[in-house]
Structure 1
């Protein structure tokens, strides 16, 4: 006969397997006990040792073994309670019959608030149907506590077996507290006698009681409001009401053989503990209108009538509600609430900081403060947000778009977890406690109660820390969100974006077309969608930001267009709502720059760049080059001709990078040199990638590789790494036939590559055009588009004119075959940096050429002093001085061998060829002219070399972008710098030969 392992297993072994930590001691205690199947049920308890102790104590007073074995559900509820709460076990030992609230169909039924009220009133001998019930029980204080804990046991049985969720538990606890307050008031009326009829008293629940989110053990915060009964004297009524309030507080807080319920705390009343315990409605209102501090309005957010004259209580809440929901408009309201939260943290004892579930970082207060602040700021305009309950408010904040869905879900989950842990800690001894225990046994009990059975301590600790970190992260994100300050600063009527308020505001802010702007606002905010709700939060603030910029109408229009383009893209409005810096940057860009706005409309997802200044830093050339070549490679690997698509992808990259640079420029993150370098890098990467596509396409057409090497030489501002937003890419094309190749065929193929490159970059596309201009090649537009290296050598040897040597000063072979680029550079260096400089004839020719250029190229009728390129002291003046110094001295001064204007001026000053003060003046003028040209392009979206003087809005916009207080100041500053620069030019460039 085989004996089963179960039969062989000792009782101690069974107990250890079930989770009993002191199995040997438990075995001794069970000797002689007939528990049948009850022992196995211990394994379901959070703390089997605690549950066994409670069970044995209960069985000593009432033998309920048969009933427990017959009702598995009742047994599970009892063991769940006994395994968590030693205090409720004590109650059962004193009142063993109360275990029956855990049995039968009523064990899982939730009582209503009115049923709880009636139960506790009857317990103290009061008539629930009487308008002002009075207690008649022999010892009402004891009776109240016994009935209260019986109801608490009933709730704990459902809570610990997961019949109710944390929200229902907290709400029922608040309803039970309200019932106890009502019963306490009945006791106080009985003590006071007929004087209780002199007044009407309402008990206003505050804090967690008011929010119907109470803990198992917590101070119950209240405020009392009273009015004389009809025909009664106010002073006498207030004296009676004060005695009633004091009596009610004693009825709940006094210690009896059954202990106390909890402290009733009236410290949130006006003037706190220094103020009268009871006030009339008028007195309350006068205080809150004149003296209340920010935190007192935050506290009133939770106000709810809970006992006494509920009609009076409702009047109290209605009376003070307008003050609560306008409080966010007070000076420094948001900052005050934030400072209060910091003070709470600062007063936590250091040894408790890491264990505080309530007050510490990542605790319950982090969630509550964040939710309350969001409610108070946004609740001025959105009445849906007005309510005392944290989780309900959080849900509505999410529905309304004030908090992201993911953030709200994470906060809600964490809050529920932390509240559940708090409840389990308090249930153990029914004491007010918010500290996570440190001992192993308590942590194990918590972990098992929460469902962690493999490693209860480790799993619980990890989950608690994870939720705390997430709460802290989201608290800092939401609680310190700068948009809160911006919304709070708006006058109350302007928070509500009604049609009338919006029109008035638009006119006051200086919108030139308020009717058009109003149409944009209505289109953005119409409907009940989450998107429209977020827009209603953002737009009152953004209207101010647009108005601070040169063209608010354009800003609002651009914002609508971008919002429409991004449609329901989930991250867009969330980004603007959660990061005010993004919204403010976007407003500035849209209301200042047509160029940047058009780029953004063509690629609206680029809004994401605005989230951080680091994302606006121009990307390194290698990173851009790698991305561009990868994009091209994906298309070139196709068996079909995807050349147009390949170049379109690269142009998309260029569009994005132009936007990045433009925004950084507008926000003052780049100076002129950095902007020019970034624009030059973008252009080079684009042309490099397009050249690869062109070569691949021509090779595919020929079914053979190119018979020649090919390179591109950057010229002019491009070669000088000084491109502006509106600059063409001046280039020359050079090729070198491979050994054995037919030169005519090689030239034909090279020409085809150049033309294909220009065609691809000229295809219609939603981005600023990139014009490839080969006009600076030998013989200009009359010469061949592409030359061989030998042809260039022959030309420069035989025919080169002084202007061509000068043009080569900014020649930079930067694209194409590396060996060919180096050989071209070696070819032109002697031409542009002649060994003996230039002779007088060449000097006179250069001077004459400059004078003719100024005369012929300046548009007729313009004020030449305002022309940033060809006017006196403009870009051309400075550049020609630098180039003349290079032609004359670069052979002997290596520092002058550069294509960059400012670098040449620095080198000339360092070599003593140019006075350092003169170099500084020229540099200053060049940089300012460059800034102005870039600003004009950013503002207008079209290039111009002329300072705007006629169009007021454009002139103001350029002035604003450049950081000047008024256009007159800008004009005066430019003229002054240009005037000083021209004096240097006349002295250095023309010398004594003024006739030249």
Structure 2
């Protein structure tokens, strides 16, 4: 027998390993077992044996008692073998299949667990498996024991009391099984070496058993089964235990029934679920029993865990839980516990879980279970800086590795650092440190980093708000402790311009039915928030109007006060809210209607820095990639939130002055294009899942395009713009789709178009994406919703009116097939570049313009033609009056139709600014004329944008834009000659 390589290990480790080795050899001799096979093992096996036995008396003892386990492990020894591939013994269900006696089942489960544990701990301590591989293997071991034990119990009790069955229509008499939920580290798939397993039992439906003379209720059946399963796993026998089982996380805790049906479970969490139970349910996962029914249960409980809105109540719950744990740690003197103590494992888990509960309802990437995976998500999605997540990940890895080293020693559930010097030295050596002090120094470094990040997460926000004195002042007013005169004077002293109105609105809110009906926790949040709001709003230039714009938001979230908590917890977000509401009632209305947008105020950097076109498209792509393809409702909500959030960023940037007009329209257009691209993708997936591919196009790209007209095509979208769209396709006639349900190609693409419109226009809790106008399609509202490219080309060439060709000037493809896009561009160029009769063209353009003026221009000033139109008390419609936006657009369209047959570059662009540049370059417009039209067009649109943000129509007073209006009218007369020369007036404000 060869000697062990003990020269490099401490004396106490050397002595211990020598003792176990001698015992092992002696046991081999006593059992007439040969050890010769060990002599032929590779040299690398022996240092591993010293490392493992030196770090785990449990493994050494098991090997001594079961020498064949070590021999089996050694005979197939491959240092590079992954844990996940180890399967040298039969599955536990196979082992239990032929066992009838309960005591033998318990023995088999424990021996199976010991055998697997030797394998797992060996590779863990010998550093032949990563931490994730180890925790995954431990989780699989627990699941196998749970599920095999459950099925043995089910068969055992069914013979005695019958089979529990389903009662609902269509499923009567079908057997039903229990669902076993794993919680905590078991649910996360990150079980440690000697972990308790937290379980919750449930079953689908109430009813009773069938098939035996004596029947019992389904609940009684599963309660008895659950009790027996706990005993099989948890009871201490001569072979020890398999897994310690903790059932305290079930509804009502220890006082609750051991097993509840799904309806009772859902009702409990809906009515009585507490914050700490939300933290616990994050990791709930089906680990045994009926897996399919279990997934249904998880789906039913999901709304309790993950709220649809940003939920900062998790922070407050986290504080309370941490305070409770900290008190318990101090009371029991467990400050050196690496799980519960400061900077320990639990704090890392709390940080991750807080982000899950706050944002997980909207970001499905946060609905995972694994801490390691979630730390990567927090970094990748920008919830935490990369440096912070790296520090947390390194600390979590170190703490979990140390936890394993503590537990491997004697297979005990402990996270307390040893106080005995021998044990300290042994632990340091097992962790790869030269001495105990070195280990402690590394541990403290990690714990300090965890404590710092945790304290940042749960820091009380009050220090960043107004002083206690100021808050007390506004608290008295809000609580009605001041008489009316005192309250009015306080408001006047703080520059509220409408003190009586403000006081009345505050009293209406405080005494309203919605506030009186609030639960205690919600009312406490409101009473905390309102003084903060009043103390903060006085720093705005117009406190009265700003407050009046914010109060609808407060009233709108009285049943979802987590939004108030978000603002309480994030003073900077409150400041941004007030800043934006002060600048724009439109923004205030949007946030009040969709308070989920408050989440965007948390990151000031991104709020005022909208991403570029490529980043926008990529962001939406990533968000939708995390949504199941068949969850159309969540896809629609994701699209809507994406649009709202980015439109808010654009509006915020515009009112802050960081985005010029042209960039505002660019961003709003890019948002719409990104949305349309994915709406087409979602609609196409929906149609293909039902009807397959269009006939005659198997294996080829579906040739379908979305053509934009008007502002979208001209890259000139505003905040409230609808989308003028036309759908065109190319597919063989008289062919049927390839799916199980065949439909004609024309109907196929009709369904595709209808689906797109539904996704865009359907009203959901987040509103609709866009209003859609399809009237510019061939034959207008009476025409087909979707046209073939040939039919579209024929219509444009032979049947379209001149005004439809004007519209075609501003038309471009924004989504769909590149090949069909090229065909459309060819059709557009051919139609627009026809040689036209100039006089007839002028007549038709003027006729259409006059019709629009008669219907839409300002009646009181004859569309801006009368002398009074230039006076301050008059109104100038920026879009429809003489010298306005539409005049410029019609002139541009006229010039393209008149001269593009001579100069094809006029067809390159669809936006007016660049077309004007091409007209100037070609010599059709004098530089001063082109410049005037460009500047007037930008000035009008900029004013229109500002008016939208102030919730005002596109009308200014008559003393504005004199110079631009006169110049546009003069050019109109010069080009088209139907308007008398403008009356000379002094230039008004521009």
TM-score normalised to the size of structure 2?
0.46
Larger radius of gyration: 1
Structure 1-normalised TM-score?
A: 0.46
